[in-house]
Amino acid sequence: MPTVPWPHPGQVRLHLLQMAMRDDYLYPVLLLVAVNLMATKGYGQDRIRLDDYRWRNRLIVAFAPSSDDPGYKALSQTLAIRQEEVIDRDILVFHILETGEVRRGNANLPAGSGDYLKQRYSIEPGKFTALLIGKDGGEKLRREDRVELDEVFSLIDSMPMRQREMREKASNR
C-alpha cells in the first residue's frame, strides 16, 4: 500500500484560508485557527530553556528538596560571598526546589518550570544536586554533596574559552 505524505503545515493553512473565504466555512475555520493558536502559543513556555544561555553564560543549577537542605544552604551562602568571582566568570545560578520554588538568581520563574530540567538531568528526588553547565551547553560537573566553589572556579579557569576570556580582559586593561 503506498504511503500518502502529510501535507506541509503551510499548505494546510493555505487551504484553511481558502475555505475561510467562502462564507459557509468562515466561522468553523476561524474557530479552528483560534484553538490552534491558543494551543501552540503556550507550548513549552513553562520550561526553562538553558539553550537560551548557550555561548553567553555558564550555569550553576542547584536542585534541592528545600532551602533548608545543608548542601543548598552552603552553596547559596558561598555564592553570595563570592559574587564578584561568579560575575567575572559569566555564571548565572538557577535554584530549583522541590517545594515548587524556581528562580534564576533572585528572579522567580514559573512554578513547575524546573520539572523539565529534573527529568533532563536525571535528578533524584529528595537529594541535593548541583550542576555546572558550560557555555557550550554541556554538563561539566555534578555534585550531590557539598560544592566547593574553588573546584568549580578552577575547572572553569582551565577551560580554553575561559583562558581566552582572561587573556582578552588582561589585554583590555
Q: What is the mean pLDDT of residues 127-137?
A: 97
Distance of CA 70 to the CA centre of its chain: 24
Q: Which of the four pLDDT bands, split at 50, 70 and 90, describes residue 35?
A: very low
Q: Residue 40 pLDDT > 80, yes or no?
A: no
Q: Which of the four pLDDT bands, split at 50, 70 and 90, describes residue 38?
A: very low
CA dihedral 116, 121, 127, 132 (to 10 degrees): -110
Judge whether 78 and 149 are in contact, CB under 8 Å.
yes
Q: Residue 43 pLDDT > 50, yes or no?
A: no
Determine the residue type at 124.
E
Q: How many helices (H) and strands (E) does the chain have?
A: 7, 6
The pLDDT value recorded for residue 39 is 41
Which residues in 77-99 are b (16+ Cβ under 10 Å) and which e? ebbeeeeeebeebbbbbbbbbbe
- Cα separation of 168 and 111, whole Å? 39
Beta bridge partners, 65, equal none
Q: Which of the four pLDDT bands, split at 50, 70 and 90, describes residue 28?
A: low
Classify 50-171 by CATH class: alpha beta
pTM of the predicted model as reported, rounded to 2 decimal places: 0.72
CA dist 129 to 33, 77, 90, 171, Å?
A: 43, 16, 21, 37
The pLDDT value recorded for residue 98 is 94
Q: Which of 126, 125, 132, 162 shows the shortest CA–CA distance to 147?
A: 132
Q: Residue 142 pLDDT > 60, yes or no?
A: yes
Q: What is the mean pLDDT of residues 131-152?
A: 96
User: What is the enclosing helix (H) or strand (E) of 139?
Assistant: strand 139-143
Residue range 54-96, pLDDT digits in tens? 999 999 999 999 999 999 999 999 999 999 999 999 999 999 9
- Cα separation of 123 and 59, whole Å? 16
The full set of domain ranges for the chain reads 9-41, 50-171
